Amino acid sequence: MADDSPVKSQQLPSHTHIAIVGSGFSGLGAAVNLEEAGHRDFVVLERGDDVGGTWRDNTYPGAACDVPSHLYSYSFALNPNWTRSFSTQPEIEEYIRRVGRRAGVLDRHVFGCAVTRAVWREERRHWELSTSHGTMTADVLIGAFGALAEPSLPDIPGIDDFDGALFHSAQWDHDADLTGKRVAVIGTGASAIQLVPAIADTVSHIDVYQRTAPWLLPRFDRPFTRVERWAFRNIPGVLRLARAGIYAARETQVVGLAKNPRLMKAFELISRAKIRTEIKDPELRRKVTPNFRIGCKRMLIANDWYPALDREHVDLITEGIREVDGSAIVTKDGTAREVDAIIVATGFHVTDSPMFDRICGSDGRSLSQTFADKGMRAYKGTTVAGYPNLFVLVGPNTGLGHTSMVYMIESQLNYIVDAVNTMKSRGITRIDVRQDVQDAYNDELQRKLAGSVWMTGGCASWYLDAHGNNTTLWPDFTFRFRRQTRRFDLDSYETSLDIDASTARAKGTVRGFN
Ligand code: NAP
Cα 106–Cα 109–Cα 114 angle in degrees, nearest 5: 145
Q: Is the pTM of this model over 0.75?
A: yes
Protein residue with least CA distance to atom 4, ligand 1: 189
Closest to 222 in 3D by CA, of 83, 36, 382: 83
Closest to 159 in 3D by CA, of 169, 148, 167: 167
Residue 39 CA to ligand 1 center (angstroms) comes to 38
CB 395 within 8 A of CB 378: yes
Residues in contact with ligand 1 by the CB-under-6-Å rule are 64-66, 148, 154, 169, 186-192, 194, 209, 211-212, 298, 321, 345-348, 462
C-beta atoms surrounding 256 within 10 Å: 21
Burial of 298 (0-12, 13-18, 19+ CB in 10 A): buried
Burial of 222-255, coded b for 16+ CB within 10 Å and e otherwise, reads eebeeebeebbeeeeebbeebbeebbeebeebbe
Counting from 1 in the atom list of ligand 1, the atom nearest the Cα of 170 is 26
Residue 462 CA to ligand 1 center (angstroms) comes to 8
Does residue 511 register a pLDDT over 90? no
Residue 175 CA to ligand 1 center (angstroms) comes to 24
pLDDT of residue 504: 47
Tens digits of per-residue pLDDT, 415-439? 999 999 999 999 999 999 999 999 9
CB 432 within 8 A of CB 122: no
Task: Give φ, ψ of 228 to 5 degrees.
Answer: -60, -45
Counting from 1 in the atom list of ligand 1, the atom nearest the Cα of 211 is 47
Cα 418–Cα 421–Cα 427 angle in degrees, nearest 5: 135
Does residue 514 register a pLDDT over 60? no
Mapped onto helix, strand or coil, the DSSP state of residue 491 is: helix
502 band by pLDDT with thresholds 50, 70 and 90:
low
509 band by pLDDT with thresholds 50, 70 and 90:
very low
Distances (CA, A) of 378 to 150, 348, 437, 475, 495: 20, 20, 10, 15, 17
User: What distance in Å separates the CA atoms of residue 19 and residue 27, rounded to the nearest whole number?
Assistant: 10
Residue 206 CA to ligand 1 center (angstroms) comes to 18
Protein residue with least CA distance to atom 28, ligand 1: 347
Protein residue with least CA distance to atom 18, ligand 1: 154
Query: Going by DSSP bridges, is the β-strand pair 165-168/341-344 parallel, antiparallel, or unpaired?
Result: parallel
Residue 453 CA to ligand 1 center (angstroms) comes to 18
466 band by pLDDT with thresholds 50, 70 and 90:
confident
3 band by pLDDT with thresholds 50, 70 and 90:
low
Residue 169 CA to ligand 1 center (angstroms) comes to 10
Specify which residues 121 forms β-bridges with: 126
Task: Give φ, ψ of 21 to 5 degrees.
Answer: -105, 110
pLDDT of residue 26: 98
With pLDDT > 90 as the criterion, what percentage of the chain qualifies?
91
Residue 307 CA to ligand 1 center (angstroms) comes to 20
Q: Three-class SS string for 73-95? A: CCCCCCCCCCCECCCEHHHHHHH
pLDDT of residue 467: 86
Burial of 325 (0-12, 13-18, 19+ CB in 10 A): middle
Does residue 341 register a pLDDT over 90? yes
CB 381 within 8 A of CB 392: yes
Burial of 107 (0-12, 13-18, 19+ CB in 10 A): exposed
Does residue 507 register a pLDDT over 70? no
- In the chain, the amino acid numbered 355 is M
pLDDT of residue 4: 62
Mean pLDDT in the chain?
94
Tens digits of per-residue pLDDT, 120-170? 999 999 999 999 999 999 999 999 999 889 999 999 999 999 999 999 999
Residue 232 CA to ligand 1 center (angstroms) comes to 34
Closest to 113 in 3D by CA, of 6, 4, 11, 7: 11
Cα 260–Cα 191–Cα 92 angle in degrees, nearest 5: 95
pLDDT of residue 99: 97
Domain architecture of the chain: domains with CATH: 15-150+349-511 (3.50.50.60), 159-223+228-344 (3.50.50.60)
Mutation to probe ligand 1, out of 59, 156, 211, 405 (largest number of atoms < 8 A from CB): 211
Counting from 1 in the atom list of ligand 1, the atom nearest the Cα of 169 is 26
Does residue 97 register a pLDDT over 90? yes
Protein residue with least CA distance to atom 12, ligand 1: 187
Does residue 334 register a pLDDT over 60? yes
